[in-house]
């Protein structure tokens, strides 16, 4: 047991070192940190006007940024994970060692998840530091930390989907292509489609809310706004309906949905990986 | 006779050390104009005051009605109640159980603590009264069955000053013209201040935070609302200030911060030839800064700062605003999303500011789409509208003279800074977590021995 944990940790470390060499991952991390910095800098400019800076609007910008970049980051590194090593032939070499496939899978997942966490902590940490230096910050720092945790949960969900894509494909380029398409679908097409459906079919707000739970980005967004504002009134009638209908249970519903998005594709990815005959 | 009987009954069961004065007997014996000094202790309510007297408490003596009826009822004019802890009213909305019920003119209620009361101070036909420096904490009830922290009812020319009301329902000023509401704080209530049918009321330097609605003006003429802080008023209503069918309201120098809606204009002004003037206010970080019915006319909105609101101007329904002035004497407002220039360096932008967004237009028609706020897809819609002018929506309003820099506004009371040390700790902890993961990654794997 101990040795299997050691194996997983060793593989995770290798995965983290690979992430450090992965130019895409570094680029996304840099972009995330730079944009987070820019948003808090804007808040600093606003501090001179109002006599203080508004954390709420900065947080809203950060939510917007997380929605755009975290799925991109997690889907691409997830999609590369298995397919790239398979293509390079290093995976067969690894599997020839006395290591179980579960250990390989968990090691990879853990390593990439931790890399993702580091990127998020870096971006949010810098942003928070700039806000503090500008004399502002969250009225409740706990809510800010919770925002990072929620962003990480969204990252895990997208990472699992990426792993599933990777386990189903043979070529890294194909996997990344599918990953990018899924990013487009989760971030843009899904929401545009739901908006169109809502308007065209005059959906009642209860159905609209239920439908929006199918998109993990939306789920993250609702949980994050709930975390910061304690209400969803910024989301209009559907948001108010959700808070009124589910009350304290709403956060549990949102977190549960995000967790399902992390667990189900992850387990499916492992099952496919464990049963593949061509490795 | 009855009060003597009651006094005698209480004398039979004295709380001797606790109750050094027979307050009811003293009240019954008092002559108009007397001052009764009440030593610290516990006194049983309810008290009924039928003579114009001044009651002064030393070290906040407690008057407790034990959970039924009003604690103090004032039937005589020119009564002063100062320095008491007034608690334990009943909880009946029908009987309007209150801490202090004033039923005669010129009552002064000053520097008292009202706790566990349904209504706090209830002035009913008590014109010319003063309510100053009291704290009112309501009963821990559901919002709908709470009472009002302060209620003025047909009490013209009253002064409500420096009171602190929390966990109450509304603070109400109805049919009380020429009143002044100044320097009060209302928190965690429903309507911070609710006005109905008044003329010439002055509302200044109040702090309204974490209520469902900060200030709501309904019907009447000549309200002045200045230098108030309206902060984090949210919920189903969620307005900093609501203007319903009021004429000649002046909204000047207020801070509207982090509300769902900063100012909601529901058909004000109502009469022809009347106006609403909204000047020198700060609208910052609200979901919507100004929410107006499309039919609203004759509003003058100038010299305000619109800083980083989710939506600067929103319409409640389809349409375009007409016959409103967005600038005066060549000076408009400061808009944080203005992208124009100022070639002649006169501090006023050379191209007009137009509030125009395809997604915001969609929201006016389909409010349920607000569910997608903050989603990158909504940015994509606006980007598409700019790239393909075919979809360009009509502007909701146009400020011909937008200001290039925000005007300096006087400070308002009540802003609390964020906890910097805790935020610093949280940020540093995040950076440390990132560094820790990096260190783990770079460290060579441990060789297992044996």
Per-residue pLDDT tens digits of chain A, which is 279 residues long: 567 888 899 899 989 988 888 888 899 999 999 998 888 877 666 666 665 556 677 788 889 999 999 999 999 999 999 999 899 888 888 888 888 899 999 999 999 999 999 999 999 999 888 888 877 777 778 888 999 999 999 999 999 999 999 999 989 999 999 999 999 999 999 999 999 999 899 889 999 999 999 999 999 999 999 988 878 888 888 998 999 899 889 999 999 999 999 999 999 999 999 998 777
Chain A: residue whose CA lies nearest to B413: A51
Option in B284, B369, B442 nearest A195 (CB): B369
Chain B: residue whose CA lies nearest to A14: B441
Mean pLDDT of B366-382: 89
Task: For residue range B44-55, list pLDDT tens digits in order.
Answer: 989 999 999 999
Determine how many CB atoms are found less than 10 A away from the CB of residue A69.
Answer: 24
CA distance A101 to B89: 71
Chain A: residue whose CA lies nearest to B418: A139
Identify which has the larger pLDDT, B446 or B99: B99
Q: Are B155 and B179 in contact (CB under 8 A)?
A: yes
Sign of the torsion formed by the C-alpha atoms of B18, B24, B29 and B34? positive
CA distance B316 to B291: 7
What is the per-residue pLDDT for B305? 94
What is the per-residue pLDDT for A262? 96
Mean pLDDT of B135-163: 92
| Chain A residues closer than 8 Å to B281 by CB | none
β partners of residue B180 = B159, B202
Closest CA to B300 of B337, B266, B327: B327
Residue B18 pLDDT grade (very low, low, confident, very high; cuts 50, 70, 90): low
Q: Are B193 and B208 in contact (CB under 8 A)?
A: yes
Chain A: residue whose CA lies nearest to B411: A51
Distance from chain centroid for Cα A59: 16
Task: For residue range B336-371, list pLDDT tens digits in order.
Answer: 889 899 999 999 999 999 988 888 888 888 888 989
φ and ψ of A117, to 5 deg: -60, -40
CA distance B43 to B21: 9
Residue B12 pLDDT grade (very low, low, confident, very high; cuts 50, 70, 90): very low
Cβ separation B434–A122 shorter than 8 A: yes
**In angstroms, what separates the C-alpha of A146 from chain B's closest C-alpha?**
11
CA distance B435 to B361: 45
Q: What end-to-end distance do the CA atoms of chain A give, in Å?
A: 25
The pair of structure tokens assigned to A115 is 């890399």
Give residues with Cβ within 8 angstroms of B29, minimum separation 6.
none
What is the per-residue pLDDT for B395? 86
Chain A: residue whose CA lies nearest to B449: A3
What is the per-residue pLDDT for A135? 72
Best of B430, B431, B439, B447 to disrupt the A interface by mutation (most A CBs within 10 Å)?
B430
Q: Is the pLDDT of residue B447 over 80?
A: no
Q: Are B85 and B62 in contact (CB under 8 A)?
A: yes
Cα B360 to Cα A231, B291, B364, B393: the distances in Å are: 21, 12, 6, 9
What is the per-residue pLDDT for A133? 81
Mean of pLDDT over chain B: 89
Give residues with Cβ within 8 angstroms of B120, minimum separation 6.
B98, B99, B100, B114, B134, B136, B138, B147, B148, B149, B150, B165, B168
**In angstroms, what separates the C-alpha of B67 from chain A's closest C-alpha?**
32
> Quick check: helix, strand or coil at residue A12?
helix
Buried b (16+ CB within 10 A) or exposed e, B235-248: bebbbbbbbbebbb
CA distance B114 to B83: 10
Option in B363, B366, B448 nearest A6 (CB): B448
Closest CA to B158 of B211, B203, B194, B118: B203
CA distance A86 to A279: 7
CA distance A238 to A252: 18
| Chain B residues closer than 8 Å to A202 by CB | none
CA distance B24 to B7: 6
- Lookup result for tokens 């995976």: A91
Cα A226 to Cα A143, A154, A220, B394: the distances in Å are: 10, 15, 10, 33
DSSP letter (8 states) at residue B350: S
CA distance B48 to B321: 55
C-alpha dihedral (B121, B125, B130, B132), degrees to nearest 10: 20
Cβ separation A128–B446 shorter than 8 A: no
Option in A68, A144, A209 nearest B371 (CB): A209
Q: Is the pLDDT of residue B5 over 50?
A: no
Identify which has the larger pLDDT, B301 or A62: B301
CA distance B123 to B440: 69
Say how many CA atoms lie within 13 Å of B261 toward its Cβ.
25
Cβ separation B236–A54 shorter than 8 A: no
Cβ separation A49–B430 shorter than 8 A: no
Q: Are B219 and B246 in contact (CB under 8 A)?
A: yes
Q: Tally C-beta pairs within 8 A across A and B.
A: 211
Q: Are A77 and A25 in contact (CB under 8 A)?
A: yes
Q: Are B382 and B358 in contact (CB under 8 A)?
A: yes
DSSP for A20-58, written as a single string: HH-HHHHHHHHHHHHHHHHHHHHHHHHHHHHSS--HHHH
Q: Is the pLDDT of residue B200 over 90?
A: yes
Best of B368, B403, B428 to disrupt the A interface by mutation (most A CBs within 10 Å)?
B368
Q: Above 0.90 for ipTM, yes or no?
A: no
What is the per-residue pLDDT for A54? 61
Cβ separation A238–B371 shorter than 8 A: yes
What is the per-residue pLDDT for B445? 58
Sheet holding B249-252, edge to edge: B35-38, B54-57, B80-82, B108-110, B130-132, B159-161, B180-182, B202-204, B224-226, B249-252, B276-279, B299-302
Closest CA to B304 of B324, B330, B276, B283: B283
CA distance A101 to A4: 11
Sign of the torsion formed by the C-alpha atoms of A154, A155, A156 and A161? positive
Closest CA to A16 of B98, B437, B182: B437
> Quick check: helix, strand or coil at residue A177?
helix
Identify which has the larger pLDDT, A10 or B10: A10
> Quick check: helix, strand or coil at residue A108?
helix
The pair of structure tokens assigned to A99 is 């290591």
> Quick check: helix, strand or coil at residue A240?
helix
Closest CA to B90 of B75, B76, B101: B101
Best of A54, A117, A143, A147 to disrupt the B interface by mutation (most B CBs within 10 Å)?
A54
């Amino acid at each position: 047991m101990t040795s299997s944990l050691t194996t997983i940790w060793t593989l995770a470390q290798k995965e983290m070192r690979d992430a450090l060499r992965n130019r895409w991952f570094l680029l996304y991390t840099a972009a995330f940190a730079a944009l987070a910095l820019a948003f808090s800098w804007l808040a600093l400019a606003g501090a001179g006007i109002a006599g203080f800076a508004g954390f709420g609007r900065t947080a809203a910008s950060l939510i917007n940024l997380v929605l755009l970049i975290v799925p991109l980051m997690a889907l691409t590194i997830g999609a590369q994970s298995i397919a790239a090593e398979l293509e390079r032939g290093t995976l067969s070499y690894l599997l020839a060692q006395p290591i179980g496939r579960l250990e390989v899978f968990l090691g990879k997942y853990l390593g990439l998840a931790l890399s993702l966490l580091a990127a998020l902590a870096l971006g949010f940490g810098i942003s928070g530091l700039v806000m503090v230096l500008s004399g502002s910050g969250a009225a409740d720092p706990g809510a800010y930390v919770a925002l990072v945790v929620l962003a990480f949960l969204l990252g895990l969900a997208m990472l699992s989907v990426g792993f599933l894509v990777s386990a189903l494909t043979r070529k890294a380029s194909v996997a990344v292509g599918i990953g990018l398409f899924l990013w487009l679908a989760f971030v843009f097409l899904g929401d545009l489609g739901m908006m169109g459906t809502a308007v065209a079919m005059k959906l009642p707000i209860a159905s609209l809310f239920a439908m929006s739970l199918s998109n993990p980005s939306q789920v993250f967004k609702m949980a994050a706004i709930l975390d910061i504002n304690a209400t969803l009134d910024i989301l209009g009638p559907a948001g108010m309906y959700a808070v009124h209908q589910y009350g304290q249970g709403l956060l549990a519903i949102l977190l549960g949905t995000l967790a399902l998005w992390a667990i189900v594709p992850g387990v499916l990815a492992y099952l496919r990986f464990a049963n593949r005959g061509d490795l | 006779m009855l009060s003597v009987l009651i006094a005698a009954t209480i004398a039979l069961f004295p709380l001797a050390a606790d109750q050094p004065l027979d307050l009811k007997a003293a009240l019954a014996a008092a002559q108009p104009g007397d001052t009764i000094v009440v030593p610290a202790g516990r006194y049983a309510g309810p008290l009924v005051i039928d003579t114009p007297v001044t009651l002064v408490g030393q070290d906040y003596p407690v008057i407790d009605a034990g959970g039924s009826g009003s604690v103090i009822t004032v039937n005589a004019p020119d009564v002063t109640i100062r320095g008491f802890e007034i608690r334990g009213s009943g909880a009946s909305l029908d009987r309007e159980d209150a801490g202090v019920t004033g039923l005669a003119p010129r009552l002064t209620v000053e520097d008292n603590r009202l706790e566990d009361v349904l209504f706090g101070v209830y002035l009913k036909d008590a014109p010319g009264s003063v309510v100053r420096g009291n704290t009112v904490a309501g009963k821990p009830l559901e919002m709908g069955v709470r009472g009002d922290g302060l209620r003025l009812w047909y009490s013209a020319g009253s002064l409500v000053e420096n009171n602190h009301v929390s966990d109450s329902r509304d603070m109400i000023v109805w049919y009380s013209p020429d009143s002044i509401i100044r320097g009060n704080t209302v928190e965690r209530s429903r309507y911070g201040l609710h006005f109905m049918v008044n003329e010439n009321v002055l509302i200044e330097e109040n702090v309204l935070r974490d209520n469902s609605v900060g200030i709501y003006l309904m019907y009447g003429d000549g309200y002045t609302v200045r230098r108030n802080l309206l902060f984090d008023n949210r919920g189903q209503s969620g307005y900093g200030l609501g203007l319903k069918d009021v004429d000649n309201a002046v909204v000047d120098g207020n801070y509207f911060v982090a509300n769902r809606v900063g100012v909601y204009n529901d058909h004000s002004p109502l009469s022809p030839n009347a106006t609403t003037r909204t000047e020198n206010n700060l609208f910052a970080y609200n979901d919507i800064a100004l929410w107006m019915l499309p039919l609203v006319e004759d509003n003058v909105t100038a010299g305000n700062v619109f800083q980083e609101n989710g939506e600067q101007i929103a319409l409640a329904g389809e349409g375009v605003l007409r016959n409103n002035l967005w600038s005066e004497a060549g000076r408009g407002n400061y808009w944080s999303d203005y992208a124009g220039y100022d070639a002649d360096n006169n501090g006023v932008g050379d191209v007009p500011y137009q509030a125009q967004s395809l997604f915001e237009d969609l929201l006016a028609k389909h409010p349920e789409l607000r569910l997608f706020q903050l989603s990158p897809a909504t940015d994509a819609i606006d980007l598409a509208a700019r790239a393909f002018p075919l979809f360009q929506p009509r502007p909701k309003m146009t400020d011909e003279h937008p200001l290039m820099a925000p005007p300096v506004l006087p400070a308002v009371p009540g802003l609390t800074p964020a906890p910097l040390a805790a935020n610093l700790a949280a940020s540093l902890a995040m950076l440390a977590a990132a560094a820790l993961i990096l260190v783990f990654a770079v460290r060579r794997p441990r060789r297992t021995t044996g």
